[in-house]
């Protein structure tokens, strides 16, 4: 049954709705009309999404008599940089935006982060809407107001908290995603079960394959469950001073891996998160915090749906535990050079730790690196 569900991120005067359902791009004009009344809308998309779906969105807005203009950036994580941000901001300013202009992010996490950050800084802040087109963006990056860009020093180190006015999560549009992108998004879905909902993780063990294959009911349930969980966390801790940090499960490892891989297509963010969550549970088991069988269960499930759980798919690199730890020290969540990790007591029960000994990290990473085929460079480890 094709119905639209409405969730609310309860942030007082900045509260906004998340709509989840099929055909929401085709219905975008109706849903955006109350926000766009009398305003110009500037769509920001990437080359891949624009080629597939921009025409449908533009028609939907035109049918609702919404004045819209599109700006297209190159696809890929490399667009989350200062150069693309500057170029986008200059083009928007040349187009004559004012404080009444509404930006619309139409794409995956890169487009959402980039557009949201532009909205946060242009004219000291203008409104924007998220229309996420990947599973990862629908269940994670489009909700919560984290915006930003990457730098050579690390991921998302320059950014701002800037909440959208509306999120339209069209689960039907996910049918156009390549399998690899679906899997990358699935890693973030699994995260919600591991950090606080053991029952959801159990459901994923039985339905994960259907979800990755695009079964509509499974997709709908997963997106709703993940968005509901994130909306509750963001409402309780908008600026990540406490509970929201749990959403970084696996991300300290993931961001280090992405930095080492140069933020390219060799390793997608969700793939890095899958490896990072595996390592987080294995570290928890190594420290005696979590049953070893829970860590094994996490690894088995991620591997069963064909997500990476270690370094074995990242061949051709001379991995160094020392270099990875240096990346972790520069992570935005680090304090005084001490990385922060989300660890687990069991599946569904996570907590934040800032006192993991470097020797334990070296032991964990050295063992993980040892599973790879290429020659190893453990200097500095």
Q: What is the pLDDT of residue 379?
A: 43
Phi, psi torsion values for 97, nearest 5 degrees: -65, 155
Report phi then psi at 101, rounded to 5.
-65, 145
Q: What is the mean pLDDT of the chain?
A: 94
Domains 5-176 and 179-369 share a fold: no
Report the pLDDT value the prediction gives residue 372, as an integer from 0 to 100. Answer: 75
* 320-372 pLDDT tens trace: 999 999 999 999 889 888 999 999 999 999 999 999 999 999 999 999 999 87
Percent of the chain with pLDDT over 70: 97
Q: Cβ–Cβ contacts within 10 Å for residue 172, how many?
A: 17
Residue for token pair 């996910």: 174
Phi, psi of 356 (to 5 degrees): -75, 125
CATH of range 179-369; options 3.40.50.1100, 3.40.47.10, 1.20.1090.10, 3.40.50.970 = 1.20.1090.10
pLDDT value at position 82? 98
Tell me which residue of 258, 250, 286, 257 sits closest to 361, measured CA to CA.
286
Q: Is the pLDDT of residue 378 over 60?
A: no
Say whether pLDDT at 112 is over 60. Answer: yes
Distance, in Å, from the CA atom of 51 to the CA atom of 225, rounded to the nearest integer, reads 30
Q: Where are the domains of the chain?
A: 5-176, 179-369
> What CATH number should be reported for the domain whose range is 5-176?
3.40.50.1970
Hey, which residues are catalytic here? Answer: 124, 146, 188, 230, 240, 244, 248, 251, 255, 269
Asked whether the predicted pLDDT for residue 78 surpasses 60, the reply is yes
Taking CA atoms, 113 is separated from 54, 129, 141, 178, 223, in Å, by: 18, 11, 7, 21, 19
Instruction: Give the distance, in angstroms, between the CA of residue 288 and the centroid of all CA atoms in the same chain.
Output: 29
What is the CA 187 to chain-centroid distance, rounded?
10
Q: Which of 178-182, 205-209, 221-225, 264-268 has the lowest mean pLDDT?
A: 264-268
Q: With cut-offs at 50, 70 and 90, classify the pLDDT of residue 375.
A: very low
**C-beta neighbour count of 372 within 10 angstroms:** 18
pLDDT of residue 336: 86
């Amino acid at each position: 049954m094709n119905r639209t569900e409405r969730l609310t991120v309860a942030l007082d005067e900045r509260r906004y709705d998340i709509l989840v359902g099929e055909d929401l791009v085709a219905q975008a004009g109706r849903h955006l009309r109350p926000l766009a009344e009398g305003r110009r809308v500037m769509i920001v998309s990437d080359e891949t999404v624009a080629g597939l779906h921009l025409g449908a969105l533009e028609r939907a807005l035109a049918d609702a008599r919404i004045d819209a203009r599109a700006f297209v950036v190159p696809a890929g994580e490399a667009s989350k940089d200062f150069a693309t941000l500057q170029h986008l901001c200059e083009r928007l300013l040349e187009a004559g935006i004012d404080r009444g202009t509404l930006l619309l992010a139409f794409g995956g996490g890169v487009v959402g982060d980039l557009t949201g950050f532009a909205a946060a800084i242009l004219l000291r802040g203008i409104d924007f809407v998220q229309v996420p087109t990947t599973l990862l963006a629908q269940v994670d990056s489009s909700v919560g107001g984290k915006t930003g860009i990457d730098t050579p020093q690390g991921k998302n180190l320059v950014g701002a908290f800037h909440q959208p006015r509306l999120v339209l999560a069209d689960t039907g549009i996910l049918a156009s995603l390549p399998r690899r992108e679906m899997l990358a998004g699935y890693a973030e879905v699994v995260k919600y079960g591991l950090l606080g909902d053991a029952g959801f993780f159990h459901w994923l063990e039985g339905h994960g394959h259907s979800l990755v294959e695009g079964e509509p009911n499974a997709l709908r349930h997963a997106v709703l469950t993940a968005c509901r969980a994130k909306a509750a966390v963001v409402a309780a801790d908008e600026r990540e001073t406490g509970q929201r940090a749990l959403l970084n499960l696996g991300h300290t490892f993931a961001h280090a891996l992405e930095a080492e891989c140069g933020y390219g297509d060799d390793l997608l963010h969700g793939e890095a998160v899958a490896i990072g969550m595996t390592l987080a549970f294995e570290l928890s088991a190594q420290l005696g915090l979590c049953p070893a069988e829970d860590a094994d269960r996490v690894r088995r499930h991620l591997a069963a749906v064909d997500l990476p759980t270690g370094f074995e798919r990242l061949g051709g690199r001379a991995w160094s535990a020392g270099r990875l730890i240096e990346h972790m020290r520069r992570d935005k969540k680090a304090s005084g050079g001490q990385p922060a990790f989300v660890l687990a007591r069991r599946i569904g029960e996570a907590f934040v730790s800032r006192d993991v000994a470097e020797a334990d990290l070296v032991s964990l990473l050295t063992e993980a690196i040892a599973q790879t085929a290429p020659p190893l460079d453990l200097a500095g480890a």
